[in-house]
């Protein structure tokens, strides 16, 4: 029988103080909604996302999965009912987009627990139960969930809290949803009322406990930051288990899709934006920032280097301190070791880019490319005005402004001729009333 996941993502996230829907806020460079979809895809056959009105950003993130709109925000059960036509047969689970850290294995445990019961739901024991709904458990089964606003002092003292996600047989779950009434302090249709209806019908409701880090809700910037710390911890541990060397793991920040091979070394305070692939045994030195780039085996990046999208650094190449590359390829063994900007360019193998070199790739309207061949030597403080090409084996003299193509094996000078005027320095000082 098919398994369907209904993901509730209609929350505005008022406490985020943001124009973005809550589920669109990012963890490790990816929206909360997309994190949960990725986990759900490993367990469920179908995914349906419930969003609020005018949440086109979430609709795009949910694609290609079907999206339904909850036009009025009347509670979680009301949101789930918006997807009624998608429940179908088989098993259905209701998940929350602001609980994005739940792992596929935990979702599998939830579904397995349902096989012997009418309803299974996630539970956890947070260090600070705060305002979470409490689970009232008798004989190993949940008899009701009490929302904090409606709980007595004794019920608020219960340490086991509602983890949000639940599952059941799809037709039965839908029938219970349709019976829920807004008889509570907020006047909303609570999904948690499913428990009372299941118990009424003689169905067992079983809790499935998971760590707090998987079930923490995200409703504010502070909670988003706490969740980011959890995600980064997972990514760092996974990298080290793959054989990646992290000198100071707590200072390195990954994106959800960062790929780093075994034996790569990463120094302190390195940030990986989305779309980075690093081969081993490359080295990424301290305070470097990488995004949308590829670093091949044996390359050395940094310290204080920036690799922007579209950059490929070849095997054994060096990108040094305060060097920035954008939409550029650096051939195997090439070096740009100091204070350079290489944008919209290709650099051949074995080429040396001197300190202070820049490619002038933008004329205010269009980006132009610079092509630098193999085994080229570009002297310090050179300006390469694109579009321009420098042939294999050519030399560019230090301080040159290159506006025309340089043939292979040529030496290019693009600077004014130096002239020395004997005694003029002393005469100048004398005119200014200063003595040497």
Is 60 exceeded by the pLDDT of residue 128? yes
Q: Which residues of 8-17 are buried (b: 16+ CB within 10 A; e: fewer)?
A: bbbbebeebe
Is 80 exceeded by the pLDDT of residue 436? no
Q: Which of 4-18, 265-279, 290-304 has the lowest mean pLDDT?
A: 4-18
Interatomic CA distance for residues 143 and 224, integer angstroms: 32
Q: Given this model, what pLDDT does residue 434 score?
A: 62
Is 70 exceeded by the pLDDT of residue 379? yes
Angle between helices 104-114 and 32-41 (to 10 degrees): 60
**Cis status, amide bond into 166, omega within 30 of 0:** no
Residues 6+ apart with CB under 8 A from 431: none
Is 70 exceeded by the pLDDT of residue 206? yes
124 contacts 208 by C-beta, under 8 angstroms: no
Interatomic CA distance for residues 37 and 198, integer angstroms: 27
Residue 203 vs residues 17, 112, 117, 141, 175: alpha-carbon distances, Å: 41, 16, 7, 10, 13
HEC profile of the chain: CCEEEEEECCCCCHHHCCCCCHHHCEECCEEHHHHHHHHHHCCCCEEEEEECCCCHHHHHHHCCCCEEECCCCCCHHHHHHCCHHHCCCCEEEEEECCCCCCCHHHHHHHHHHHCCCCEEEEEECCCCCCCCCEEEEECCEEEEEECHHHCCHHHHCCCCEEEEEEEEEHHHHHHHHHHCCCCCCCCCCCHHHHHHHHHHCCCCEEEEECCHHHHCCCCCHHHHHHHHHHHHHHHHHHHHHCCCEECCHHHCECCCCCEECCCCEECCCCEECCCCEECCCCEECCCCEECCEEECCCCEECCCCEECCCEEECCCCEEEECCEEEEEEECCCCEEEECCEEEEEEECCCCEECCCCEEECECCCCECCEEECCCCEECCCCEEECCEEECCCCEECCCCEECCCECCCCEECCCCCCCCCCCHHHHHHHHCCCCC
Instruction: Give the pLDDT band (50/70/90) at residue 62.
Output: very high
Mean pLDDT of the chain: 95
Q: Which residue has the higher pLDDT, 267 or 132?
A: 267
Average pLDDT over residues 243-270: 98
Q: Which of 156-160, 183-187, 196-200, 399-403 has the lowest mean pLDDT?
A: 183-187
Model confidence over 264-282: pLDDT tens digits? 999 999 999 999 999 999 9
Among 390, 397, 434, 435, which Cα is nearest to 415's?
Answer: 397
- In three-state secondary structure terms, 267 is coil
DSSP strand pairing (335-338 vs 411-412): unpaired
Is 90 exceeded by the pLDDT of residue 142? yes
Model confidence over 324-377: pLDDT tens digits? 999 999 999 999 999 999 999 999 999 999 999 999 999 999 999 999 999 999
47 contacts 7 by C-beta, under 8 angstroms: yes
Kindly list the structural domains of the chain, giving each domain's residue range(s) and its CATH number in brackets, ordered by start. 3-215 (3.90.550.10), 243-412 (2.160.10.10)
The CA radius of gyration of the chain, in Å to the nearest whole number, is 30
Task: Catalytic residue, from 35, 86, 289, 338: name it.
Answer: 338
Instruction: Give the pLDDT band (50/70/90) at residue 435.
Output: low
Q: At residue 88, what are phi and psi to the nearest 5 degrees?
A: 60, -150
Model confidence over 82-118: pLDDT tens digits? 999 999 999 999 999 999 999 999 999 999 999 889 9
Q: Given this model, what pLDDT does residue 219 score?
A: 92
Of the chain, the end-to-end C-alpha distance in Å amounts to 95
E strand or H helix at 68, and its extent?
Answer: strand 67-69
Instruction: Give the pLDDT band (50/70/90) at residue 30.
Output: very high
Residue 338 bears catalytic tag: yes
Q: At residue 200, what are phi and psi to the nearest 5 degrees?
A: -55, -40
Q: Given this model, what pLDDT does residue 313 score?
A: 98
Q: Given this model, what pLDDT does residue 148 score?
A: 83
DSSP strand pairing (141-146 vs 161-169): unpaired
Average pLDDT over residues 248-271: 98
Interatomic CA distance for residues 321 and 335, integer angstroms: 11
Would the pTM count as exceeding 0.85?
yes
Q: Given this model, what pLDDT does residue 183 score?
A: 79
């Amino acid at each position: 029988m098919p398994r369907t996941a209904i993901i509730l993502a209609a929350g505005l996230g008022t406490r985020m103080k943001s124009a973005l829907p809550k589920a669109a806020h990012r963890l490790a460079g990816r929206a909360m909604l997309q994190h949960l979809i990725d986990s759900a895809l490993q367990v469920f056959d179908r995914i349906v996302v419930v969003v609020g009105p005018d949440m086109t950003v979430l609709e795009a993130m949910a694609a290609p999965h079907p999206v339904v709109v909850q036009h009025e925000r009347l509670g979680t059960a009301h949101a789930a009912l918006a997807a009624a036509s998608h429940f179908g047969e088989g098993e259905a689970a209701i998940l929350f987009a602001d609980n994005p850290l739940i792992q596929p294995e935990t979702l599998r445990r939830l579904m397995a627990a349902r096989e012997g019961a009418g309803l299974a739901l996630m539970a956890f024991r947070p260090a600070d139960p705060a305002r979470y709904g409490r689970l009232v458990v008798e004989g190993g089964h949940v008899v009701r969930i009490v929302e904090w606003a409606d709980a007595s002092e004794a019920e608020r003292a219960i340490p086991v809290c509602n983890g949000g996600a639940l599952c059941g047989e799809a037709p039965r779950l839908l029938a219970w949803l349709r019976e829920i009434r807004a008889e509570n302090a907020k006047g909303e249709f609570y999904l948690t009322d499913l428990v009372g209806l299941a118990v009424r019908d003689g169905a067992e409701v079983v809790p499935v406990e998971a760590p707090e880090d998987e079930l923490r809700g995200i409703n504010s910037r502070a909670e988003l930051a706490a969740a980011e710390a959890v995600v980064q911890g997972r990514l760092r541990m996974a990298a080290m288990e793959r054989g990646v060397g992290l000198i100071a793991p707590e200072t390195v920040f990954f994106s959800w899709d960062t790929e780093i091979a075994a034996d790569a070394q990463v120094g302190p305070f390195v940030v990986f934006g989305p779309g980075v692939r690093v081969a081993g045994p490359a080295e990424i030195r301290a305070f470097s920032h990488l995004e949308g780039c590829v670093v091949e085996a044996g390359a050395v990046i940094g310290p204080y280097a920036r690799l922007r999208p579209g950059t490929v650094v070849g095997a054994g190449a060096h990108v040094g301190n305060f060097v920035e590359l954008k939409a550029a390829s650096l051939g195997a063994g090439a070096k740009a070791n100091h204070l350079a900007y290489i944008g919209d360019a290709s650099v051949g193998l074995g080429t040396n880019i001197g300190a202070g070199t820049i490619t002038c790739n933008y004329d205010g309207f269009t980006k132009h490319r610079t092509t630098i061949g193999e085994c080229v030597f570009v002297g310090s403080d050179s300006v390469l005005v694109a579009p321009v090409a420098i042939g294999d084996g050519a030399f560019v003299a230090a301080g040159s402004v290159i506006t025309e193509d340089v043939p292979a094996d040529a030496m290019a000078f693009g600077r004014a001729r130096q002239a020395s005027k004997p005694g003029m320095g002393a005469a100048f000082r004398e005119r200014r009333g200063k003595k040497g």
